[in-house]
Every structure is written in structure tokens, then in C-alpha cells.
Structure 1
Amino acid sequence: MMDWMTAEDAMAALGVRAQTLYAYVSRGRITAQTDAADPRRSRYSAADVAALADRKRRGRKASDVAQNAIAWGEPVLASAITTVARGCLYYRGRDAVGLSQSESFESVARLLRDQSAPDLVPVTDAAIAKGKTAGARLFATLAGRVGTDLPVAGRSPRSLAVDAASLLDAVVTAAAGQDSRDPAHERLALAWGCDADGADLIRRALVLLADHELNASTFAARVAASTGASLAASALAGLATLSGPLHGGMASRVAVFMAEVKRSGAQAATADRLMRGEPLPGFGHPLYPEGDPRAQALLERFETPKRWAAAAQAAEAAGSGRPNIDFALTALAKHLNLPDDAPFTLFATARCAGWVAHAIEQSQTGRLIRPRARYVGAPV
């Protein structure tokens, strides 16, 4: 039978603060469950704590550091675009939450790719990509440009900026299902039947989601760009990666959890998940032990739906952390009565700005991203 320990004992054994302990839980390094004697508290796997403490005492070899660098570990490449520092997200040194107060998605996209001049987007009557869902149209749009857009290799940032502006315009058109010269948030708001307040919330979400350092989809986009592939190909690599359930598909997992909350109540649904040893989707983030500032910035702009508010209260009481951006997107979709796929549509549309910026930055290095694998197979 698994032995459990209190938060105080776990922190003492590891020599860490509560925030770090919660971060270990959110990363899956320590298993936690609700204390049966006090539902407001959590207990932590003694075996997991002991194993982690032992690894900390032994230190890590260079090969171990390299192996773990691809999973919330040490930085693996240099970038001047985005960073997370002191619990905040910064785009080229500017606070993303502050930018979300007033900036448009288009202006932030230019900031990310270090372009001060307005976008030069040719006005065309190109047909909107076919697809019943916004996701299908996004994939079709990017795939359709892969064979026609020029490679990034050997091109100047100014030349690439024109391609980037055209690509982002096409992405917004695909997401909204209609073309116009209006800003992205207004086009999406029109497609979803939102009023001016709803359009402003969409604008804020797009800005907050535009980039997030070297996440899985951004790394995929940079790998593609490092080969000299086009911006469209790089963005398509990012979109394919984003579609996974552990990345852009996380909002769908939050929706499933919220359906459980609807059936059995917030406290019961939370307890059931934790008893099964499953983390709560939509809560906690390895980079934000004190809480995801993107989620907070978005949630404070509208009244959180009652079921979401109850789930957030239960999750925090159980020690599962505060709401993250995936939770905030599903709450926003409920508040504005958006389609089920709206969280993914917002995420993919916004993040395309970051993928393109990273692809341009990577192309200027002239270096191929080609890591080595640590072989653990049959002896050779």
C-alpha cells in the first residue's frame, strides 16, 4: 500500500516551498491525493518524495541534463522573442498581460517578429479553404500554401515579414470562415455572433496566446524552419503538434472534466479524479507555480460561469493549483456561448503569430536543429 505524507513533511524532505511542491505535482513528479480526514488538504506520495529527494542529493550528469532538457528542463536554444520570468510572460521584454489591455493581435504579431512597419497584405479574392470546422480549414489553408510559398532559407527578415503578414491573414480568414480587412478579433466575433464586449475578450485572448516561449508546437515550427522550409510549412508543423491532447487539445480535456462537474458536483468530481491519481486538467502550470497570469488576466474581465467558479474553488482547495489558460478558454467559450471548438480555434489562430516569429528567427541562424538520441537499445 502506498504511504502518504503531509505537505509540510514533503516540503521539509525536499527543502522547497509550497509553490515548488505544487509545481512537482503539476509536472507529474509527485502523486497527490485529497486527505480523507480533511478534504481541504492534500497528501503526497512518500515514495515519490523520497525518489525526488535522492535525485537532488546525487545531482545530475551532463547526459542526464541533456536528456531532461526537452521536458521543462534547461534552455536548449537562444531566442529574443518570449520568456517567462518571475511568474510573468514577456514578448520581447514587454509584459504580455499589459499588452492585452489595449493592443491588437496584429500589432502583437508584428512585435513578436520584430517588425515596426504595418503589415503589407495583398488584397485577394482567394477562395476560403473548405472544411466543416475551423480546425479543418486551418490545416487545409496551411497545407495549400506549403507547395507555393518560398522557403525561408537565405531570405531577409523584411522579405519574410511580407509572407508572414499574408500567412496570418489567411489563417484568420480560415478560422473565421470569411474574409475581410477587419482586425482578427472583429472577424472572429462576427463569425461567432459576439457583441463589442465579446470581441474585446477575443482580442485579449488572442494577444495572451500569441506565443509562449519554446513550447512543443513552437519547437516543431523551429525545427521545420531550421531545414529552410517555408513559413507555411513551419506553421503547419506547429499546428499538427498543437492538435495533440496534451497541448492545444487540453481544452477538450477540461471540457470533459467540466461535464463530470455538472454530473456530480465540483468537490466530488475533483475528489474522484485525484483518487484515481489523475491531475485535474485546466489547473496548475509548471512555469507558473503562483498561477497562470494569462488565465487571471482573462478571467478577471468577465463573470466566471458558476460551474467553472465552483470547479476552480474545489481544485485550489484540493491543492491542484489555480486555473491555467486552458481553463480560462473554456470558461470564456461558455460565457460567450461559442462553438465547442472555439478554444482550439483561438489557440491555433493566435499561436500562429508565435510560430511565424520563431520560424523567422530560426531561419536567420542558418543552423539545422538536429539533436542526438541517447541509445538504450540492444548492444551493438
Structure 2
Amino acid sequence: MAERLTTQQVAEQLGVKVETVYAYASRGQLSSERAPGGKGSTFDAREVAELAARGRRAPVRPAPGEAPAAALWGSEPVTVRTGLTLIENGRLYYRGRDAVELASRCGFEAAIGWLWGLGADAPVELRVPPATAEALARAAAALPDGIRLPDRLRISATVAAALDPLRFDLRERTVHAAGAALIAGMVEALPRTAPDPGPDASLAARLWSRLATAAPTPEALSCLDRALVLLIDHELAVSTVAARLAASARAHPYAVVSAGLGATDGPLHGAASPLAHRMLAEVLADGAVPVVSDYLRTGRPIPGLGHRLYPEGDPRAVALLDAVRRLDGGAAVVAAVADVEAAAGPAGRPELRANIDLALAAMALTAGLPAEAGEVVFAVARTPGWLAHAVEEYHEEPLRMRARAGYVGPRPQA
């Protein structure tokens, strides 16, 4: 019989608390059996020795303010160090500058320049080369009717990559140039539904012409620009982790963006806004109480409420809803958001306050944009953030975030 260790013995051998031992077991890193007599658990000494040899402490739940860690090849967990974005005391900062303040003063192009470390007065020119624009237009025209706009974004990244013979040049300046063209190309690949604002218009104006059916008011365009800035980066969100993993394998910037876009397709991340849009539209038609009650009765989470990184509420949502309130009809939509918060539960609970997904839905409903507009805005806005993280990762050791599995399948036959 293999030697068995008690929980206390395992904790002493690994140098961890007893609670951590049980956390290892719950995640499949150690297999446990009930001790004789049914009191406590025992563990395979060989598994414990292997875990100790790897020097791998499982990141069960990061401490407050601690960055998530990724496991290396058989060594200590690595903290992903970044000089881009900080979330602290309920606020969001880009390179030390408050994101809400930046969004109130700068457009999207200037915010990209700031995030990319080019300076406070270095807006990035977002232009797509004519040959690439023509190829993207041909690819878009070949797609069947009914293709969702977020799917068109993913296709455009693939087409743009195929047209760039220098895509494997990972020097920072080249990545920035490719990224600026890609961001513009993603918008260029969307069908135009409103008057063309012209080639010298801001990216927000060009994106508006792909989402709306009429020209924007100055207030509406400013609101969209603010949304883009507020979403440009968010530390190690799931799509950013996917992007950094791709960059760790030295994938080119287009592939990095494709990895990020793939992660945004889930309803728990970038695709959360359309769900909030549908719910808020129902609230505007039928009132908050019956709609929220139906969600609660059927056990469905109410979309667009709460964010675990903001214990006092999402500051991005507050800033964007303030801009929405100033649009024609915006006051009624923002009031509906407040009604949702009130109907969801007692006041003062941060998990029942609007997050950025619900704020995007409020913007889209007020401006008459389609339900998927929030998802498109999220993806376009986050692209420069993914590229900034890629530049950081290109300077790190390759493949440093290769995780190790906690195998729970059948053991090999002797």
C-alpha cells in the first residue's frame, strides 16, 4: 500500500495551511481518501512529494490587490507585471491617470497614445492602407446576409493579417503601426448604415456610421468616444489574458487580437451587453418590477449588475451613464437603469449597481443603435489594450505562462 499522510502532515510538508490542502484537493491537485474511522482525510505521499517538488502553490483566491498568477513550467507561479492599468480603491487608472478623467478630456485616438506610452499629446492616427481597405471591402461583400457585426470583426482581423507580410515583426513601433491600421480596418469592414463622415473623421464618427442609421449629434458622438476610452483596457480581464498568452507564444499582433476577440464572444465578458440591452428594452416597455421579478423567479442572473473589482460600484458605468443622461431621451433610459437597481434588491448593495455592460446597453437604446452595438464597441475599444499588453509580453520570457494540469483521470496501468 502506498504511504498515506494526514492533512496536517501534508500542510507541514508543503508549508501551507490546512485550508490550502483542501483547496488543492478540490481542484484535483491532490487526491484524498477518508481516514480509517471516518475522521479526516489522507493523501498519497507520492502526490504530495511531486507537488512539493514542483514548488507550486495553487492560486486559490488572490488576496485583495494581488494580481492573478499563471503557473510556469514546473516552477513558482508568476505574477503578470504590467505598467498599463491599475484597479485600486474602486478606481481605474491608465498609466497612473484616472480613466474617467481621461475619458472626459481625451478622445479615443489620444487615449491610445497615452496607453501606448507615446505621451499625453500624441494621438494615434487610425488609418487603414487603401489596398487593405479594398480587400476588407471585398471580403465583407462576400459574406452572407445576416452575419453578426462581431463576427465581421473577427473575419477582418484574419484578412488584415493575411495582407501584412511584416506581421511577424514584433518590434514595438511595427506593432503599433500594424495595430493602428487594424483598428481602423475593423471599423472599415463593417457595413455603413449612416452617412459617411469622411476619411478625416475620428474613429468614433466612423464607427457611428456603421452602427446608426442617422448622423450623430455632437453629444451622441462624444458619448460614444467616452465609451471607447473607458473600455480601452481593464487589467487582466479574460480576453487580455488570452491575448497575453498568444503573445507569450510570439503570435503576431493580428493573432493576439484574434485571441482577444475569441474570448469576448462569451456572455460573461464582451458579449454581456446585448443581454443587458434586451433586458433594459423590456424594462422600458413593461416596467422594472415585472421584468426583474421574472429574472429572479426563473433563477437567471440580472444582466449588467455588479462587478467584483469595484466594491462601491463600477466607475466606468457612472461616467458613461452621466453622458447618456445628456442625450435626447437619455434621462428616461438612465431612470430605467436606476429602477432595475432598485427592483433587484435593497439599496446600497454594490453587486446590484449598474456595470459598464448595462451602461453600454443604455447608450445603445438611447441612440437607437442595435443590440449588438455594445459588443462591437467593447471589441474595438479593447483592441489597443490587447496590443499594449502584447508589446509588454514580447519583452518577457517566451511561453512563461504555460500552465500545468491537475490530472484527475485514470492512472496509467502498471
Q: Normalised by the size of structure 1, how large is the TM-score?
A: 0.77
Distance change (3 Å), C-alpha of 1:90 and 1:284? same
Native 8 Å contact 1:149 1:230 kept in 2:
no
1:182 aligns with 201
Native 8 Å contact 1:282 1:323 kept in 2:
yes
1:83 aligns with 86
Inter-partner Cα distance in structure 1 for 2:321 and 2:155: 32
Deviation track 1:77-101 (CA, whole Å, cap 9, x = no partner) reads 1111112111011111111000000
1:360 aligns with 391
Measured after TM superposition, the shift of residue 71 of structure 1 is 12
Distance change (3 Å), C-alpha of 1:268 and 1:93? same
Measured after TM superposition, the shift of residue 175 of structure 1 is 4.4
Inter-partner Cα distance in structure 2 for 1:339 and 1:256: 10
Measured after TM superposition, the shift of residue 118 of structure 1 is 5.0
Greater relative CO, 1 or 2 (CA 8 Å, sep 6+): 1
Q: In the alignment, which of 343, 346, 349 is matched to residue 314 of structure 1?
A: 343
1:202 aligns with 224
- Alignment of 1:279 with 2:301, yes or no, is yes
Native 8 Å contact 1:152 1:360 kept in 2:
no
Deviation track 1:178-232 (CA, whole Å, cap 9, x = no partner) reads 7723211121234422211100000000000111111111111111111111111
1:68 aligns with 60
Q: In the alignment, which of 85, 110, 113 is matched to residue 113 of structure 2?
A: 110
Native 8 Å contact 2:169 2:252 kept in 1:
no
Q: Give the partner amino acid of 1:83.
A: L
SS at 2:20's partner residue? coil
Deviation track 1:215-257 (CA, whole Å, cap 9, x = no partner) reads 1111111111111111111101111110111111111221343
Which residues in structure 2 correspond to 1:165-314 (within 5 Å)? 165-175=180-190, 177=192, 180-191=199-210, 192=212, 193=214, 194-261=216-283, 265-301=287-323, 302=325, 303-304=330-331, 305=333, 306-314=335-343
How many residues are treated as equivalent by the alignment? 324
In the alignment, structure 1 segments of 5+ residues that lack a partner are 1-56
Distance change (3 Å), C-alpha of 1:376 and 1:74? farther
1:124 aligns with 130
Distance change (3 Å), C-alpha of 1:159 and 1:266? same
Distance change (3 Å), C-alpha of 1:331 and 1:316? farther
1:329 aligns with 360
SS at 2:87's partner residue? strand
Please give the root-mean-square deviation of Cα atoms over the aligned residues, in Å: 2.8
2:373 aligns with 342
Distance change (3 Å), C-alpha of 1:80 and 1:151? farther
1:140 aligns with 155
In the alignment, structure 2 segments of 5+ residues that lack a partner are 1-16, 28-56, 70-79
Native 8 Å contact 2:128 2:182 kept in 1:
no
SS at 1:365's partner residue? coil
Q: Normalised by the size of structure 2, how large is the TM-score?
A: 0.71
1:8 aligns with none
Q: Give the partner amino acid of 1:60.
A: T
Distance change (3 Å), C-alpha of 1:335 and 1:150? same
Measured after TM superposition, the shift of residue 316 of structure 1 is 4.9
Which residues in structure 2 correspond to 1:19-58 (within 5 Å)? none
Q: Give the partner amino acid of 1:311.
A: V
Percent identity, aligned pairs only?
36
Native 8 Å contact 2:344 2:352 kept in 1:
yes
Inter-partner Cα distance in structure 1 for 2:240 and 2:58: 19
Native 8 Å contact 1:175 1:345 kept in 2:
no
SS at 1:90's partner residue? strand
SS at 2:105's partner residue? coil
SS at 1:290's partner residue? coil
SS at 2:58's partner residue? helix
Inter-partner Cα distance in structure 2 for 1:263 and 1:374: 49
